[in-house]
Amino acid sequence: MDVFEKLRNGLPVNMASEEYKPAFEHIMFAAIKCHEINNLTPDLEKVKPLLGELFEGKFPNNSYIMSPMQLDFPKHISIGENVFINHHFTCMGAGGITIGSGCYIGPNVTIVTTNHDLNNLAVLKCKNVNIGKNVWFGANVLVLPGITVGDNSVLAGGAVITKDVAPNTIVGGNPAKVLKTIEI
């Protein structure tokens, strides 16, 4: 199992090890590509091909991420169709992030899949994050490792998502709590 598979499967990986080198190279590739995108005039025709490169050809034509952004493991991030992501999107995606189709993500949203071993901070422990379809993120939402957010949910502005969110649910606060169930 290579380092990428270990990270996606939640196995501990030491960032100071030789094994981590390909992961670090991927992080640097992503940092350079994000820097390139972030320093362009926001021009769809110029940005779209770079998003394709960043996501190794797996970025839907009808989805978009506003700059600036910072993504560290784009090969572990899957974005569905018709997704709009506003500026200052940050993903620590070593553990894997799936964003379903039709999601709208407000500004300053952070999704984190990584954590550190308390006995050795150089050791990463990852858990994937799964976002359902048609989820609306308010501004400044933080999603922590291992979270699943159900379809048609709303994450209110400033929410810190520490537990799974059921489908058709509005959550808010720090830590986020259920505010309302959406009648469908």
Share of the chain above pLDDT 70, in %: 100
pLDDT digits (tens, 9 = 90+) for 137-165: 999 999 999 999 999 999 999 999 999 99
Residues pairing with 160 in the sheet: 142
Task: Give the start-end residues of each E strand in 67-159.
Answer: 69-71, 77-79, 84-85, 89-92, 97-99, 104-105, 110-112, 114-117, 120-126, 129-131, 136-137, 142-143, 148-149, 154-155
Output the average pLDDT for the chain: 96
Mean pLDDT of 110-120: 96
pLDDT the model gives residue 167: 98
CB atoms within 10 A of CB 39: 9
pLDDT the model gives residue 44: 80
Write down the catalytic residue from 26, 76, 87, 116. Answer: 116
Whether the link from the prior residue into 22 is cis, omega within 30° of 0, is no
Please say whether the beta carbons of 141 and 111 come within 8 A: no
116 belongs to the catalytic site = yes
**pLDDT level of residue 45 (50, 70, 90 thresholds):** confident
Domain ranges of the chain: 3-181
Q: What pTM was computed for the model?
A: 0.95
pLDDT digits (tens, 9 = 90+) for 19-37: 999 999 999 999 999 999 9
pLDDT the model gives residue 77: 97
| Homologous superfamily of domain range 3-181 | Hexapeptide repeat proteins (2.160.10.10)
Residue 184 has pLDDT above 90, yes or no: no
Alpha carbon distance 112, 91 (integer Å): 6
- Please name the residues in contact with 139: beta carbons below 8 A apart, sequence gap of 6 or more: 86, 106, 107, 108, 109, 157, 158
pLDDT the model gives residue 164: 98
Please say whether the beta carbons of 77 and 94 come within 8 A: no
